[in-house]
Chain A
Amino acid sequence: MINFTQEAGFGLRRRKRAEARFQWAGRGAILISLAFLVIMFASIIGNGAGVIWQSQIAVTVDLSAEEIDPENIGDASFNSLVKKGLRDAFPEVEKRKEKKRLYGLVSTEAAFEVERQIQANPELLGGMQTLWVTASDDADLYISGQVDTDLPEVKRRVSDAEIAMLDKLLEEGLARETFNRGFFTNGDSREPEIAGILSSLMGSALTLLVCFALSFPLGIGAAIYLEEFAPKNRMSDLIEVNINNLAAVPSIVFGLLGLSIFLGYMGLPRSTPLVGGMVLALMTLPTIIIASRAALRSVPPSFKEAALALGATPVQAIFHHVLPVAMPGMLTGAIVGMAQALGETAPLLMIGMVAFIVDVPTSVLEPATALPVQIFLWADAPERAFTEKTAAAIIVLLTFLILMNLIAILLRRKLETRF
């Protein structure tokens, strides 16, 4: 009469199936989210990995004294030297239109590259020299195998004539792929094959420096005050509510604040890491305050009490005994805040850090851009080759973020093992 198995009724079979479905829905949801993460990473890495390689083309240029005055290297027309070298390599090319295509195989920067090589190595002068120069973005697409030759010519970025020329160069060993140092050492450029991330990386570093210098002391000060000294009154409550709400204000609103107050009212220089850092500092302040308060709270009260019992003033007790113990936790919060600031884009657009920056900024008062803004700018650029650059810049950005979070996790772990 009594039965405790699945046969007992109660619609058990149906209910067990519902239970299984429910659990699978949970697993499915997690799986979908993680699958998205994997696909996104795979797509970005797939798009960006090619940046490691850069195509180069060898051009034989006449560096004899008739063409270049050794005393006055800068006066020579390197542009026509490169063009002549290309024409010599392909004597059969005669029509104007085809010549234009031929010249288009190398980057517009090729002439400068030749000049730089000679400036660095004047002994090259005096005869014919074969020098490697950067290939143009379209030529690079073909050399790195990203052009589908099965498509009809009109649908490709690289024409049949260009392909024929590149094939010849490849056959003769006059075209190659090398490690792309330029991506890490150049500033931005209109030419994708030349564009690099150094200027924006420096911009980000300077911006974060300002951001950290402002938000860390402010955040810690505020946290100590609120946690240890603030009287329990309406003012403290107001600050408390304020901080929680600031943490949820859209980042773009901070950009508007910066535009109107820092640029408009205070007249600080536009597009600079100084202003960018100030805006990001205000934005990350709530994060740092909240994390620092949690770190302070986790310090056993006995530390402070022991110091007070020895006659230390409350300020001494906190600065000498509580703060050092809470410091790893506070730093963790600060790093998380900095990681957030490093990835932030929208507020920087508001204060004009979207400028086209070729030179690497060296001070917080020079116009600069930041890595995520550079990503935004490149993502918007029409040239196909910029897609690769964008993805590669994202990989660099994510690498920095992972490193920062790793440090935060290690710090947190160290903190946890202490008590």
Chain B
Amino acid sequence: MDQTLIQTPVADANFVGQPATPTPPEKVSEMEQSFIQARKANVFYGEKQALFDINLDIEEKRVTALIGPSGCGKSTFLRAINRMNDLIPICRFDGNLTIAGQEIYDPAVDVVALRAQVGMVFQKPNPFPKSIFENVAYGLKIHGMTSSKTEMADRVEWSLKSAGLWDEVHDRLDQPGNSLSGGQQQRLCIARTVAVAPKVILMDEPCSALDPIATAKVEDLIDSLRKDYTIVIVTHSMQQAARISQRTAFFHLGKLIEVGATKDVFTNPREEQTQNYITGRIG
């Protein structure tokens, strides 16, 4: 369904704006190119450097968790993936970051097109002060993704079902989005993101403002979305990272310390810093 909605008039082959494929550094050259690939990614806030030479591969249709103590740069990295950092005037990116082989910091890239395909869910549920229906339909409307009212309604229903919210709200779609409970609001925000069929969903501590029951529901939802979307989630809860992610990357003081299969990172970390963090000695 999502494939029919996104019109890609220009096929990859004759796409002009794309830069030459960056030569991957030797360390990872044995791997085949992963879906999201960061190479020597540095982020600066004015004079202050927030990320140092991050090399990170994120695989398609998996959940990748970014963990680390607060201020370690995990959120900065997440926001670099759909260029939300551009909103901060003093913020500067240096290095390479590709999604499906395309450099997203290339001048030809349009952040609107990028963000339409790399969606984001925020820490605090932030539904628009509009009805539930309008919240989900928002992206469809701005991107002109549906051609009729019924198509729009179908699409909203599908999104709400994907987010596991349909049964709870189908009889009150015209009520304001912020009349829902916190957990429902967060799932509404996920439905809103899913509606435009992004390739990647970025989640910035999506459960930190929720109670345990709502958290469990959102975690279930994330797990079920995995088959269709590439998900990158920042979390400060190691249990959550262990529960929902397949891969985990540990950040500390702006550096990527370790990345690997979640199971390995938590049971048998290669680095001492990771060990210290997951056993609670730092953070």
Contacts and interface: CB of A to CB of B under 8 A. Distances in A.
A11 interface: yes
A222 B188 CA distance: 50
Contact of A1 (B12, B17, B106, B116): B12
B143 A11 contact: yes
Contacts of B9: 7, 9
A6 interface: yes
Contact of B17 (A5, A12, A15, A16): A5
Contacts of A16: 110, 112
Interface in B20-48: none
Interface string B104-133: 101011101110110000000000000000
Contacts of A15: 112, 142
B282 interface: no
B7 interface: yes
A2 B104 CA distance: 11
Contacts of B280: none
B15 A7 contact: yes
B7 A4 contact: no
Contacts of A4: 99, 102, 104, 106, 109-110, 113-114, 117
Interface residues of B, number: 27
B199 A2 contact: yes
Interface in A1-40: 1-12, 15-16
Contacts of B144: 10-11
A10 B198 CA distance: 13
Nearest to A11: B144
Interface string B155-195: 00000000000000000000000000000000000000000
Contacts of B213: none
A19 B145 CA distance: 19
A10 to B, nearest CB: 4
A213 to B, nearest CB: 49
Contacts of A11: 143-144
A7 B10 CA distance: 7
A16 B142 CA distance: 12
Interface string B75-112: 00000000000000000000000011010101011101
A10 B5 CA distance: 10
Interface string A91-123: 000000000000000000000000000000000
B6 interface: yes
Contacts, number: 65
Contacts of A1: 8, 11-12, 100
Contacts of A8: 6, 8, 110, 113, 116-117
A190 B221 CA distance: 87
Given A1-B100, A2-B100, A2-B102, A7 B116 contact: no
Contacts of B6: 8-9
A404 B116 CA distance: 53
B99 A2 contact: yes
Contacts of B11: 1
Contacts of B100: 1-2
A284 B255 CA distance: 59
Contacts of A6: 108, 110, 113
Nearest to B10: A7
Contacts of A10: 7, 112-113, 116, 143-145
B148 to A, nearest CB: 16
A85 B264 CA distance: 116
A12 B108 CA distance: 13
Interface in A233-267: none
Contact of A9 (B7, B12, B102, B109): B7
Contacts of B113: 3-6, 8-10, 12
A16 B111 CA distance: 11
Interface string B226-259: 0000000000000000000000000000000000
Interface string A128-157: 000000000000000000000000000000
Nearest to B11: A1
Nearest to A19: B112
- Kindly name the residue among A1, A4, A12, A16 whose own CB sees the greatest number of chain B CB atoms within 10 A: A4
Nearest to B102: A4
Nearest to B143: A10
A117 B145 CA distance: 89
Nearest to A15: B112
B12 A12 contact: no
B169 to A, nearest CB: 27
A139 B143 CA distance: 71
Interface of B: 6-12, 15, 17, 99-100, 102, 104, 106, 108-110, 112-114, 116-117, 142-145, 199
Given A4-B109, A4-B110, A12-B110, 19 more contacts: A1-B8, A1-B12, A2-B99, A2-B102, A2-B117, A3-B12, A4-B114, A5-B15, A5-B17, A5-B108, A5-B113, A8-B8, A9-B6, A9-B7, A9-B9, A9-B113, A10-B112, A11-B144, A12-B113
Which 8 pairs between the two chains have the least Cβ-Cβ distance? A9-B7, A8-B113, A2-B100, A4-B109, A10-B143, A5-B17, A4-B114, A11-B144
23 contacts: A1-B100, A2-B99, A3-B12, A3-B102, A4-B113, A4-B117, A5-B17, A5-B109, A5-B110, A6-B108, A7-B17, A8-B8, A8-B116, A9-B7, A9-B9, A9-B113, A10-B7, A10-B112, A10-B144, A11-B143, A12-B110, A15-B142, A16-B112
